[in-house]
């Protein structure tokens, strides 16, 4: 069985790199993107099994990315993450997906991804 493809969109390179390492060691295939614009140009978006999105990014937020995918009729399970979003944004994220508060441990992310994909 091929590994599941996880996409990470976060403007912080250190976060992308650490999550990439964590998820690859856990057996996932992973692609990372520094911005919403970069992600939305990715031709294999329909092949993604789960999307890990930072809520607060310059330009388009993680919530905006999720809404854009909905407008494109693309349904991908989402795990949002944030270290400093307003409570109203966290609540909105929880309505459409799972939301983790940074910092979190690897097991929390793996559990959230599996829950999102199976849930």
Please tell me the predicted confidence (pLDDT) of residue 96.
77
Backbone angles phi, psi at 51, to 5 degrees: -115, 125
105 DSSP β-pair partners: none
CB 11 within 8 Å of CB 37: no
Q: What is the mean pLDDT of the chain?
A: 92
> In this structure, what token pair is assigned to residue 29?
């295939």
pTM of the predicted model, to two decimals?
A: 0.91
Name the more confident of 18 and 85.
18
Specify the number of domains making up the chain.
1
CATH number of the structural domain spanning residue 50: 3.40.50.2300
> In this structure, what token pair is assigned to residue 26?
């856990």
pLDDT tens digit sequence for 22-53: 999 999 999 999 999 999 999 999 999 999 99
At 1, is the pLDDT very low, low, confident or very high (cuts 50, 70, 90)? very low
Domain hosting residue 57, numbered range: 5-118
Asked if the bond preceding 103 is cis, omega within 30° of 0, the reply is yes
> In this structure, what token pair is assigned to residue 8?
């990470």
């Amino acid at each position: 069985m091929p590994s599941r493809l996880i996409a990470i969109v976060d403007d912080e390179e250190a976060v992308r790199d650490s999550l990439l390492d964590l998820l690859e060691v856990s057996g996932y295939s992973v692609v990372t993107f520094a911005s919403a614009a970069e992600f939305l140009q990715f031709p294999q978006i329909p092949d993604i099994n789960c999307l890990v999105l930072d809520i607060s990014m310059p330009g388009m937020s993680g919530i905006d990315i999720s809404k854009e995918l909905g407008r494109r009729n693309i349904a991908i399970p989402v795990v949002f993450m944030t270290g400093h979003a307003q409570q109203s944004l966290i609540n909105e994220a929880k309505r459409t997906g799972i939301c983790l508060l940074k910092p979190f441990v690897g097991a929390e992310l793996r559990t959230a991804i599996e829950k999102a994909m199976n849930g």
